[in-house]
Amino acid sequence: MLPPVTEGDHVTGSDSPELTLVEYGDLGCPFCFAAKRPVQSLLGRFDGLRLVWRHLPDPELHPGADLAAELSELAASEGRFWEAHDLLLAGREEFSRHDLLAAAERLELDADAARAALDERTFRERVLADVEGGRSAGVHGTPTFFIDGERLEGPWRQLAQVVPARLGG
């Protein structure tokens, strides 16, 4: 069962949504990167749409993706999650420590805080909570989308037809 959207989730789009799109994604996943622009386009077209991002990193497939998710959580603690999301979800399939510290610098995050967050795995539990929620909802790969709690079956490209049909556009 899909966990409900809470204050702890990363949400963009409508404050009073007619439709909620939940994406389980991996910042190192090329398919999540490919879905990014079409999803942003839908957000721009439909005022009644909101997007919820939940982490599902696969560090075996995308080395360092778990640490990238944790760095995005450091940014979130400063109200800058979506900036980090957009910077990190850029077609890179692996992240070295150097890459992540460079991203922290580009995001103007405190360098010592970024190093400490990565070394101490400060935000690991926050990321794992998303992973556990995804697993309990039957998510095994990324990207996986849910529309108003219903899993989108088939390729993510269907969003271009499903979202407008559901929002009357």
4-46: pLDDT as tens digits: 999 999 999 999 999 999 999 999 999 999 999 999 999 999 9
Percent over 70 (pLDDT), the chain: 100
φ/ψ of residue 107, rounded to 5: -80, -5
Residue 118 CA to residue 77 CA, distance in Å, equals: 14
> Which of 28-37, 122-131, 150-159 is least confident?
150-159
**Average pLDDT of 131-140?**
98
Is residue 52 included in any domain, yes or no? yes
Give pTM, 2 decimals.
0.96
User: Is 40 inside a domain boundary?
Assistant: yes
The pLDDT value recorded for residue 169 is 75
SS3 state at 151: strand
Is there a domain that residue 1 lies in? Answer: no
What is the structure's pLDDT at 168?
86
Mean pLDDT of all residues belonging to the chain: 97
Which residues are CB-neighbours of 164 under 8 A, at least 6 positions away?
42, 45, 46
Q: What is the pLDDT of residue 120?
A: 98
Quote the domain boundaries for residue 28: 19-167
Q: Report how many domains make up the chain.
A: 1
DSSP helix/strand/coil, 81: helix
**CATH code, 76:** 3.40.30.10
pLDDT at 132: 98
CA 106 to chain centre: 19
